[in-house]
Amino acid sequence: MDITLTLAVVIAVVIIVAAVVIYNGIIGGYNRVQRAWSDVLVYERQKTKVLDQLQKVLADFMVFESSLLEKITGLRSAIHSLPAGADGNALATVETASRELMGGLRVTFEAYPDLKASEAANNMMREIAEQQENVGAAITIYNRNVELFNNSIEMFPGSVVNGLFNKKTPVIPFSDTEASQSFSYTPNF
């Protein structure tokens, strides 16, 4: 009888330890998703600082390019409206506005040779491009963390532990629908 009781206690302890490890893994995954989302927000907001400087440099040319001013203002508003909680769908507006602004800036630089020659404007364009690359890298990290987190709460045994204790819901990854529409590859599932 002592062997049966000992075996039952060992099995119970193993199950409890496994549940605690899974629970902590889910919490850690959720926190990594939130941190990755915060990184995306930081890079997007750093972009607004450069946009403010660029707007001052472009002030003389804004008379001719009022639509560019509207795009800068729209991008700044979209960045400031990003939610604090992770939401890949909310980022789509910002990324679309970024693409539109970069296109408008290229046209403006081509139309105004004096602006194109301006070292300050060129430096800011490089800074915006670098910030956009940082955003892209942060989005990649965010989406990877979202995938790992969602897997941890949707796959067995994590789904059981999550259903009993955490009650976390899947996080929405960022999906660039505009980019995905430009090619027609579909994986073989």
Q: Is 147 exposed, middle or buried (0-12, 13-18, 19+ CB in 10 A)?
A: middle
DSSP state of 174: P
**One-letter identity of residue 49:** K
Q: How crowded is the C-beta side of 168, counted as CA atoms within 13 Å?
A: 30
**Per-domain residue ranges for the chain?**
2-172
pLDDT digits (tens, 9 = 90+) for 27-48: 999 999 999 998 988 888 888 7
Q: What is the pLDDT of residues 77-122, one digit of tens each?
A: 888 888 888 887 788 878 887 877 777 666 666 665 555 546 666 7
Contact 23, 161 (CB under 8 A): yes
With a cut of 90, say whether residue 7 has pLDDT above it: yes
Look-up: residue for tokens 């508003």? 77
